[in-house]
Structure 1
């Protein structure tokens, strides 16, 4: 497997989606992240990808977009009670109809946003746009369908969407990167 190619694809996709989210005011040119959240993707990815692969032909945008909703849910749990949420099963993110309504379950039941609210609509809009951009970028790569490379590109795209979703939720929760001055006397820092 060409790891360099996959790394370049993932980085290019991440920058494209970060730019898109920044233009829509959902992020601030920086991908907010936490190692706990990124590591949780490794736990959840096999089951997510198994669900999503079955959606590719009929619902290509859904197949990648739901990873962003999963990222929203994991980031919410990281902030809310990580000791608990780090242990929940992948299926706990399912809606009443399983994978199909995972998006609504995460927004309504975890994030506590009414589905008809402006904020839920903004999340749906940006995640759909990111999903469309992701599918477009995958198609642009002209990879042989159902090949091992196609699977790896798809898995990397899902991970990128997961990270974008997590970053959106972290920003929504008020997290941000702040520049700190190293070398300042610790006695001068506010307590």
Structure 2
């Protein structure tokens, strides 16, 4: 892998997450195309990265990586139920984070946005935890020097793929199934 190529980082994280989430039956064989939600990434990612890096560097890498997946799920849910309203929110990440705080954003999304029962909540929480853990392991195995542009690119690529997988997981849970034409 050319460690200077963000596309290589994205592919590494994408392939591993896709394989895991398929095996857990959390995403369909064909991932959804959601341009409305994908185009939010630059702004959401930019807003999220400061909080994410802080958590990552203070000993909570799984939180930094997992919470962005929850954000993807929340955005997908908003898209499904009331996109006319939520598409006008200037920054959905700040909107969600500020409903409670960063540390409890996962609980807010699981309980208040996704409205999951206890069994489904536990399953989703476990899947996000495993996704974050796998991604953190992949980052560690890259052996990137901390604080470098490569390390930053890898972190942002990981966040992006986790966000997209969060969208895919929630869209499948909502009943959207992608099939080949």
Q: Normalising by structure 1, what TM-score?
A: 0.87
Structure 1 Cα separation of the partners of residues 33 and 27 of structure 2: 12
Give the 3-state SS of the residue equivalent to 2:39 in structure 1. Answer: helix
1:70 has 2:71 as partner? yes
1:49 has 2:32 as partner? no
**Structure 2: stretches of 5+ with no match in the other structure:** none
Structure 2 Cα separation of the partners of residues 65 and 37 of structure 1: 18
Residue 33 of structure 1 deviates from its aligned partner by 3.2
**Structure 1: stretches of 5+ with no match in the other structure:** 181-191
- Residue 92 (structure 1) aligns with: 95
Number of positions where the alignment pairs a residue of Structure 1 with one of Structure 2: 177
User: Equivalences for 1:170-181 in 2 at 5 Å?
Assistant: 170-180=171-181
Structure 2 Cα separation of the partners of residues 61 and 25 of structure 1: 22
Q: For each residue in 1:88-146, what CA deviation from the matched residue of structure 2 results, as whole angstroms up to 9, or x when unmatched?
A: 232221265411111111111111124xx111111101110000010000111111101
- Residue 161 (structure 1) aligns with: 162
Distance 1:39 1:179, change over 3 A: same
Q: Which of 97, 101, 104 matches 1:101?
A: 104
User: Equivalences for 1:98-177 in 2 at 5 Å?
Assistant: 98-114=101-117, 117-177=118-178
Q: Which has the higher contact order (CA 8 A, sep 6+)?
A: 2
Structure 2 Cα separation of the partners of residues 120 and 9 of structure 1: 30
Structure 1 Cα separation of the partners of residues 4 and 144 of structure 2: 15
Structure 2 Cα separation of the partners of residues 152 and 128 of structure 1: 22
Q: Normalising by structure 2, what TM-score?
A: 0.91
- Which one has the largest radius of gyration? 1
